[in-house]
């Protein structure tokens, strides 16, 4: 068989276009492909919801790829081990209530499960604005990350969504756009982003789950975004709270 370069090009364009067009309106749009976003996308897609995840970088996984300071092992606490077990990720006990897992296996496996469940992942895409109707966020305004990085003046396009999850981590990128550009009060003590505090793993892991919830009409926060939004501390390279937060936010949206 003789391969034809034009056929290869057409195949990529046609298949991507099909996938992208199918996701111009979704049940849930997730921004940020770290552990919380990936786990949420798996649970939502498995429940039959139409899910699209947008990740600014070329690769997904957020900070989980690098473990702690590029030592690519992660730690999860006992209550989060069930998430690793669900995905068949190999883990080893370290001390009582502490388990370790290979960061690369964890990210690649969760991503595979999410995609096979039906979630669509669009990498190299950034959110630069949101769409708001009658005080509720109803969509995302997206562009290619390389366009954003190059500072090119290229107009973005829009994705409609019944629900949005900001799982962009420390940056809380979606919420910062809402705070800056929209007349919408956040469901925090101040009505605005409260900011991330210094590291305190024990408190941060607990607060990650407590803060995983709706933060303004149509928008939920999960993972490190939840603590950064509600004023909780960072937790460092322990990922149990992130995994559990992804499951929790999916359950909350499914209940709606």
The whole-number pLDDT of residue 183 equals: 87
Domain ranges of the chain: 25-255
pLDDT (mean) for 123-143: 97
Write out the two tokens for 201: 């793993």
Res 141 pLDDT > 90: yes
Tens of pLDDT, residue by residue over 95-112, are 999 999 999 999 999 999
Band (1; pLDDT cuts 50, 70, 90): confident
How far is the C-alpha of 139 from the C-alpha of 33, rounded, in Å?
18
Torsional class of 236: left (φ above 0), alpha (ψ -120 to 50), beta (otherwise) = left
What is the gyration radius of the CA atoms in the chain, in angstroms? 18
Rounded to 5 degrees, what angle do the CA atoms 158, 53, 26 make?
Answer: 55
Q: Using CA of residue 135, residue 139, residue 141, residue 142, what is the dihedral sign?
A: positive
pLDDT of residue 181: 92
Average of per-residue pLDDT across 57-86: 96
pLDDT tens-place string over residues 42-54: 999 999 999 999 9
- The alpha carbon of 51 is separated from its chain's Cα centroid by a whole number of angstroms, namely 11
Nearest one of 222, 121, 113 to 163, comparing CA atoms: 222
Share of the chain above pLDDT 90, in %: 99
Q: How many residues does the chain have?
A: 256
CATH architecture group of domain 25-255: 3-Layer(bba) Sandwich (3.50)
C-alpha to C-alpha distance for 220 and 217, rounded to whole angstroms? 8
Name the token pair of 16: 């991507």
Distance of alpha carbon 41 from alpha carbon 250, whole angstroms? 8
H-helix or E-strand spanning residue 101? strand 98-102
Residues 182-210 have pLDDT tens digits of: 989 999 999 999 999 999 999 999 999 99
pLDDT tens by residue, 206-244: 999 999 999 999 999 999 999 999 999 999 999 999 999
DSSP-based three-state secondary structure for 5: helix
Q: Residue 12 — very low, low, confident or very high, per pLDDT cuts 50/70/90?
A: very high
Q: Give just the sign of the alpha carbon dihedral 59, 63, 69, 73.
A: negative
In eight-state DSSP terms, residue 196 is P
Q: State how far the Cα of 82 lies from the Cα of 72, in Å rounded to an integer.
A: 20
């Amino acid at each position: 068989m003789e391969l034809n370069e034009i056929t290869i090009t057409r195949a990529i364009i046609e298949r991507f276009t099909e996938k992208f067009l199918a996701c111009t309106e979704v049940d849930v749009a997730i921004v940020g492909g770290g552990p919380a976003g990936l786990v949420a996308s798996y649970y939502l897609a498995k429940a039959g919801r139409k899910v699209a995840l947008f990740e600014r970088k070329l690769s997904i996984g957020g900070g989980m790829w690098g473990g702690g300071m590029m030592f690519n092992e992660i730690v999860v606490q006992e209550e989060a081990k069930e998430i690793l077990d669900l995905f068949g990720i190999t883990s080893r006990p370290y001390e009582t209530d502490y388990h370790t897992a290979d960061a690369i296996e964890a990210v690649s496996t969760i991503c595979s499960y999410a995609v096979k469940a039906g979630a669509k992942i669009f990498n190299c895409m950034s959110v630069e604005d949101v769409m708001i109707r009658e005080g509720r966020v109803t969509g995302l305004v997206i562009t290619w990350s390389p366009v954003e990085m190059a500072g090119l003046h290229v107009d973005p396009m829009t994705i409609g969504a019944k629900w949005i999850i900001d799982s962009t981590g420390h940056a809380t990128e979606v919420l910062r756009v809402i705070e800056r550009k929209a007349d919408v009060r956040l469901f925090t003590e101040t009505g605005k982003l409260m900011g991330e505090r210094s590291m305190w793993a024990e408190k941060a892991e607990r607060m990650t789950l407590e803060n995983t919830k709706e933060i303004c009409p149509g928008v939920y926060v999960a993972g490190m975004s939840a603590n950064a939004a509600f004023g909780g501390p960072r937790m460092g390279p322990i990922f149990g709270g992130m995994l559990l937060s992804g499951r929790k936010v999916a359950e909350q949206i499914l209940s709606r």
